[in-house]
């Protein structure tokens, strides 16, 4: 059974991302097609990238990099929960992604964005990043609006149809994660 990480990509005190990630995880764990785990990048206390050697060479020197690498390597696919900051993803998530390379390769990913325009611009940027990391990004996407899926831009009250959107996203992430296992095995 594939292992899928739901990666919480914001670290701001009072972040909306915590409620979004928990909601996605609660939907996911009712399913029986994969093993899901919530991964909060804030728990890994990653500094700004402090590895001397580019991650693609896989020579990690710092203990925090090794801990993060071990966690990310343990999954077959990912669901990134991303805020939109200045029309992109958070600096914290981009930094956490940049720390590693091989651990991401030949895996699948889907995105849950949130912001005034559903976090769509953040997700578009992440899709470009995924290509460089050899991650297959699925088409289905969850776009949560600060206007209609939150009250006062801070209390998460997702519209009913968003649950189906999460399940469609998970269907595609599980499918591609499973398929890519053959590439990783080769
Ligand atoms: C630094 C910063 C920049 C932001 N820029 C955008 C933006 O470009 N577009 C947008 O829709 N929302 C923007 N927002 C609003 C965030 O999407 C919203 O505050 C969201 O809740 C942030 O996620 P978080 O609460 O998990 O940190 C910005 C918020 C911050 C803190």
Q: Is the CB of 115 under 6 A from ligand 1?
A: yes
pLDDT (tens digit, 9 = 90+) per residue, 20-56? 999 999 999 999 999 999 999 999 999 999 999 999 9
Mean pLDDT of 121-143: 98
CA-based nearest residue to 8, from 85, 103, 113: 113
Average pLDDT for residues 163-185, to the nearest whole number? 97
Which of the listed residues 115, 146, 148 should we mutate to test ligand 1's pocket, taking the one with most ligand atoms within 8 A of CB? 115
Residue 33's domain is classified under what CATH number? 3.40.50.360
Confidence at 130, pLDDT banded by 50, 70, 90: very high
- Number of helices and strands (H, E) in the chain? 5, 7
Domains of the chain: total: 1
What single-letter DSSP state applies at residue 41? G
pLDDT for res 121: 98
User: pTM for the complete prediction?
Assistant: 0.98
Percentage of the residues of the chain whose pLDDT score is greater than 90: 99
For a mutational test of ligand 1's pocket, the pick from 7, 8, 15, 86, i.e. the residue with the most ligand atoms closer than 8 A to its C-beta, is 86
Domain extent, residue 87, equals 3-185
**Residue 115: burial class (beta carbons within 10 Å; 0-12, 13-18, 19+):** buried
114 alpha carbon – ligand 1 mean position (Å): 8
State which ligand 1 atom lies nearest to the alpha carbon of 17.
26
The 8-class DSSP code of residue 22 comes to: H
Question: Closest ligand 1 atom, CA of 84?
Answer: 17
């Amino acid at each position: 059974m594939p292992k899928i990480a739901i990666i919480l990509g914001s670290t701001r005190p009072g972040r909306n991302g915590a409620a979004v990630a928990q909601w996605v995880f609660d939907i996911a764990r009712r399913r029986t097609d994969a093993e899901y785990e919530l991964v909060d990048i804030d728990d890994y206390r990653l500094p700004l990238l402090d590895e001397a050697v580019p991650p693609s060479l896989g020579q990690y020197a710092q203990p925090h990099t090794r801990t993060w690498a071990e966690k990310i390597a343990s999954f077959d696919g990912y669901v990134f929960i991303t805020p939109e900051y200045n029309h992109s993803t958070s600096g914290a998530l981009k930094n956490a992604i940049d720390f590693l390379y091989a651990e991401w390769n030949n895996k699948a990913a889907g995105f849950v964005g949130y912001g005034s325009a559903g976090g769509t611009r953040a997700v578009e940027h992440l899709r470009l990043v995924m290509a460089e990391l050899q991650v297959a990004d699925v088409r289905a996407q969850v776009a949560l609006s600060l206007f209609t899926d939150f009250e006062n831009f801070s209390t998460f009250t997702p519209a009913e149809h968003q649950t189906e959107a999460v399940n469609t996203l998970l269907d595609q992430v599980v499918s591609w994660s499973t398929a890519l296992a053959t590439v990783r095995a080769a």
